[in-house]
Amino acid sequence: MHRAAATARAGRDEPLQHVAPRQHPARQLMNGTTTTARLLAATLLAVLVPAAPVAGAQPQDSQPNGTQAEQDAGPTPPPLTDRIKPENDGQPDRPYTRTSVGCVTSLDGNVQLQEKAWGQDVLRFQDLSAFATGANQTVAVIDTGVNQHDYLAGRLEGGGDYVEAGGDGLSDCDGHGTQVAGIIAAKPPSDDIGFRGIAPDAKILSIRQSSEFYEYKPPQGSQEEGRASAGSLDTLAEAVVEAADRNVDVINMSVDTCRAAANVPITASERNLQRALRYAVEEKDVVLVSSAGNIPGPNCREQNNSDPANPRFIVSPPWFSEYVLSVAAVDRSGDPAGFSMHGPWVSVAAPGTEIISLNPGDRDGLVNVTADEKGEQTPIQGTSFAAPYVAGLAALVRERFEKLGQPLTAKQIMERIKITAAHPAANGGHNIQVGYGMVNPVSALTTMIPAEENIPPDEAVEVPFEMPPPHERDWAPVQVAVIGSAGGLGLLLLTLFVVHTVRRQRGDRPDLS
């Protein structure tokens, strides 16, 4: 908003000039003498009797320009009225089969990347190891599975498979989950390799929950609809329960669904997911991180509207912001990425463009492109790759304060990450594009937060505005100087008068010679 400043011009009236009629020289002298005496008397009176000080102009009370808007709250899902734990049988919800396309393999061999990921510099990876590395922390990656990779050697464990019965989660046909895991915990064998994960000593528990390379074909003659991909909100809820029961510290969910918000109450599947998220956070003390969602998508091809109270689309799990840190994507310049879904539930933001991560088809390779089902290569980008930066940060925060003997709960960790983010210039430091802003790992690891120390928040204190007292000028030195000058002037005038009188009398004396 631009404010126009008004400039006032102050004019000053010039005094009128009065011309006196011409007088006789002697009368002029006498009048001049009289006028001088009057001026002298007025001057002495002004000096000897100081004028009363002028009262300082008091500023008017500042009036607000309109009423302050309420902080963006946005629609929230109906609260839970029960504490039911969702059932989990550890099996796919349907018998999926692999499509004829095949799986993602190594992309153009072992690509030699000349630059490290820009997000590592922005988030100051080089400084984080002084505080934490993710040691003794386990991050569950609920995704498309994670392939074995040398940069995860000894720290990757299978946690289950909801795509293919009997799987262990260590098969990634899409490549997506492997790249997500690399952003969290990749640890190269040599310091000469610039790429690394934000929490390079963290463990990864892989649970395969979805895949674009699997489909469901209903039996011949069945009225059931087929599916072009594997995964659902129901299996996501089961995967969350599975990870929580394995006592992980953090769960990363770079998977989400989007639907129209208008006139659609919460569905049974969404309610089941809400129960799973509550169970993980409140009963198992797990930090939950989710991607904010991308556009265009199957059901949401347009950006959400700008009214935080009435979004056009709802994205899950981010909708359940009471339990989830939802992460938007920003680009290299720090601007919200054009594909990042907006919403009042967005918590924070992280790098989501020009991504570098593990090559899912090469055990010791890196990659900065991905391939779709047609084999077409595109740069790696999306909120899916912003979320693991925050999941890894949560692991660092948890480790850091456990080492300090001040362990934090899952909700405290999530709140700390939001409080220490670089807030946007918006009401309450929050907007629907980037939430509370780009995460700041060093600040999240080092800032003292009063609430964690049981220090109550500051209260507003009314501070009255007072002008300083008027300056009382000491007039004594001025009075002495003026009186002395006036006395000297008086003597000068008296002398001139006497001399003039003597000369005049001499000029009027008759000549006796």
Predicted pLDDT at 22: 36
Between 49 and 485, residue with greater pLDDT: 485
Cβ burial of 456 (10 Å; 0-12, 13-18, 19+) is exposed
Instruction: Tell me the C-alpha distance between 137 and 160, whole Å.
Output: 19
**CATH architecture for segment(s) 97-452:** 3-Layer(aba) Sandwich (3.40)
Mean pLDDT (whole number) for 17-27: 35
Contacts of 171 (CB under 8 A, 6+ apart): 145, 147, 161, 164, 208
Lowest mean pLDDT among 190-199, 215-224, 358-367, 455-464: 455-464
pLDDT digits (tens, 9 = 90+) for 393-408: 999 999 999 999 999 9
Mean pLDDT (whole number) for 139-156: 97
Lowest mean pLDDT among 14-23, 101-110, 255-264, 430-439: 14-23
Predicted pLDDT at 511: 56
Q: Catalytic residue positions?
A: 143, 176, 384
Query: How sure is the predictor about 501, in pLDDT bands with cuts at 50, 70 and 90?
Result: confident
Predicted pLDDT at 141: 98
Which of the residue ranges 43-52, 101-110, 302-311 has the most confident prediction, judged by mean pLDDT?
Answer: 302-311
Between 31 and 181, residue with greater pLDDT: 181
Contacts of 53 (CB under 8 A, 6+ apart): 470, 471, 472
Predicted pLDDT at 370: 84
Is the pLDDT confidence value at 475 over 90? no
pLDDT digits (tens, 9 = 90+) for 50-96: 333 333 333 333 333 322 232 333 478 999 999 999 999 999 999 99
The backbone torsions φ and ψ at residue 208, rounded to the nearest 5 degrees and listed phi first, read: -85, 120
Is the pLDDT confidence value at 191 over 90? no
Which of the residue ranges 104-113, 217-226, 433-442 has the most confident prediction, judged by mean pLDDT?
Answer: 433-442
Query: How sure is the predictor about 13, in pLDDT bands with cuts at 50, 70 and 90?
Result: very low
Is the pLDDT confidence value at 126 over 90? yes
Q: Are 233 and 273 in contact (CB under 8 A)?
A: yes
Between 106 and 202, residue with greater pLDDT: 202
Average of per-residue pLDDT values in the chain: 83
Instruction: Tell me the C-alpha distance between 425 and 422, whole Å.
Output: 10
Query: How sure is the predictor about 452, in pLDDT bands with cuts at 50, 70 and 90?
Result: confident
Lowest mean pLDDT among 17-31, 108-122, 347-361: 17-31
Is the pLDDT confidence value at 6 over 50? no
How far from 480 is each of 46, 395, 441, 486, CA to CA, in Å?
13, 80, 71, 10
Predicted pLDDT at 223: 81
pLDDT digits (tens, 9 = 90+) for 435-449: 999 999 999 999 998
Which residue, among 98, 138, 87, 119, has the nearest Cα to 242 in the 3D structure? 87
Query: How sure is the predictor about 3, in pLDDT bands with cuts at 50, 70 and 90?
Result: very low
Query: How sure is the predictor about 264, in pLDDT bands with cuts at 50, 70 and 90?
Result: confident
Query: How sure is the predictor about 472, in pLDDT bands with cuts at 50, 70 and 90?
Result: confident
pLDDT digits (tens, 9 = 90+) for 367-385: 998 876 667 788 999 999 9
Is the pLDDT confidence value at 430 over 50? yes
